Amino acid sequence: MRRIQRLDPLVAQRIAAGEVIERPASVVRELVDNALDAGSSEITVSLEEGGLQTIKVIDNGSGIASDDLPLLCESHATSKVRELDDLYHITSMGFRGEALYSIAAVSAITIQSSYQGERAYQITVDNGVRGQVQSGGPASGTIVTVEHLFGELPARRQFLKRPATEANAARLVVIQKALAYPERSFRFYQDGKLRLDLAPTTAKGRVLDVLALTQPVADSEMVELSSQSDRFTLYAVASKASLFRSDRSHIKIYVNSRPVDEYALVQAVTYGYGDQLPGGSFPYCYLFITIDATLVDFNIHPTKREVKIRNHAEVHHQVVQMIKEQLKRSIVRLTPHIQQEPIRFFEPNESTVSSPRPSYTPKSSARPTKPSGPIDPQWFEKAREILGENKSQSSRSWDEMVWPDGKEEADFTYLGQAFNLFLIAQKGDDLYLVDQHAAHERLIFDQVRSKGLSQNLLAPLSFEVDRDVDEYLKAHIDVYLNLGIKVERREEMLWELVAVPALYKRIEDEVVAFIRENTADSREVEKGLWAIVACHSAIRQGDPVDRHLAEDLLTKVFALEEPVCPHGRTFVVRLTKDELITAVGR
């Protein structure tokens, strides 16, 4: 008896559908992609009962010809790919020819469409059973209605969440698509109520509109970044260093208008910010990469959330450089601009209202209390204005800010260490706070430029690289040899790290990771590697520093032309005597 037999076509169809259609949000994703490919400028999505009862997508695109309707829900039927080579020049959102076929296998789907304003026609496919093409539908565009999703697959329904949760997941899909197409309008209805209305706007405007749905962000806190290469362009809407969060949830990557899960590029964004953000903090960054279609492959997974980029290392490097170069942190200088009110450790008595010098009556000697008066509703905007003034004034050069001349002997008094993080020194009428880690990092950065002798590793480290890095290393192996780093090619796209200078010992893995992601010129490679060594060898924040080491460190810091760490961060804050006197109201 034969144990192998052909599956029933409907069973095979539903198995295939399971890879594409997991929940109502999957249906919305595929139908919105089709609407975008049709050139729609207005897209409306409507769900009933979380999409289990009804999902409807309405667009004003070019429509579907009546002759094409019978083929819509056939396996691998698509208008976007004709031959094999087309897979390597994908410019449309859809291309696999699986979406409508999969939806039709697990629901009743009705497609009504008017092709370029002609007479409208419609067709219904109910769980794989095809109906006849009939007349009727919208005056223009297309309406796709999906009913009773997984109605004949109760086991699949059991894995779904509550209707409200499923509806929210679908809404997030619409938001993802809207971010990539800011010039188009998107609406989302849930059980007849409008839950999302995004009007056409600019790319930055769309990001701000989306952020405003949950946490309004001021326009001034976000900046636009851009960079262009021969075969790709970068554009990002990103937060300044003053605005950050504790997770990566707002680092979004788009490749050719598709949201993708690409951790290496998320990592590139965080590398770009470097030490501008506190440890464990992450920026808001919406990065849009437009790349030659021949260099990307989305034909990896049915959901098209994964992508292979042939020049991945080049893109990675360019993202890091774009952020580093265009998001410079301004030089810090603490300058009071307003006369602050006294800090209220006690409740004010009635004389506070009329007296120009308020007197206070203790309420409790146990601990300070909060003021009882109303909080100024404009305090947040006023604070932003003050910070803005500080930033504009702090952008002056170090010469204007009287940074000590490195040619003169550093005459200063070391006062001590604060929080095991800052070294405090007085020079004349100026007080300096120096970030000990960043300062030591910079000094080591200068030392490692001497390029020490190489030492062979006991066991060479093997590592694979992308094709563009492979080609780069073959042509520019001398870039690393000049730094004392020896790499050898074992076979195509397989290399070994053979020798490194003593300063690179114990961080060979970081060196390998850097080599795998970089195709930059020699200067950038040198700078990147030096920064890695300095960062790993420097005094850490939280380390106690004895007086001898602190004074030696400060002497060298004051001899620098500019106090900037290898990551581009200024690590010194200067306070004048007059500023301190003004701050305390003397």
- The secondary structure of 219-288 as a DSSP string is GGGEEEEEEE-SSEEEEEEEE-TT--BSSSTTEEEEETTEE---HHHHHHHHHHHGGGS-TT-B--EEEE
Average pLDDT over residues 359-378: 36
C-beta of residue 73 within 8 angstroms of C-beta of residue 8 = no
Say which residue, 391 or 136, is predicted with more confidence: 136
pLDDT at 451: 61
Please name the residue that has the structure tokens 């204007």.
400
pTM for this structure? 0.61
For residues 479 and 292, give the distance between their C-alpha atoms in angstroms, rounded to a whole number: 28
- Residue 6: the pLDDT is 61
The pLDDT, as a whole number, for residue 388 is 42
What per-residue confidence (pLDDT) applies to 387?
A: 36
Residue 332 confidence (pLDDT): 45
Contact 496, 462 (CB under 8 A): yes
The DSSP code sequence of 186-202 is: EEEEETTEEEEEE-S--
Residue range 67-124, pLDDT digits in tens = 888 887 666 555 554 454 544 555 566 555 577 888 988 899 999 999 988 999 999 9
Q: pLDDT tens across 482-534, in order?
A: 888 999 999 988 999 999 988 788 889 989 999 988 887 887 888 788 778 77
- 567 pLDDT band, cuts 50/70/90, is low
pLDDT interval class at 16 (50, 70, 90)? low
Position with higher pLDDT, 425 vs 156: 425
| SS3 state at 144 | strand
Which three-class secondary structure state does DSSP give residue 123? strand
pLDDT band at 8; cut points 50, 70, 90: low
Rounded CA gap, 98 and 12, in Å?
A: 13
pLDDT at 97: 56
Run of H or E residues at 491: strand 486-491
| Structure tokens, 544 | 């106690």
For the stretch 373-419, pLDDT in tens is 333 444 334 433 433 443 343 333 333 344 555 444 458 999 999 98
Chain segment 267-318, per-residue pLDDT in tens: 999 999 987 887 778 899 999 999 988 888 876 655 556 788 888 889 999 9
Q: Which domains does the chain have, with CATH numbers?
A: 9-198 (3.30.565.10), 203-326 (3.30.230.10), 411-586 (3.30.1540.20)
Q: Which of 464-478, 482-496, 565-579 has the lowest mean pLDDT?
A: 565-579
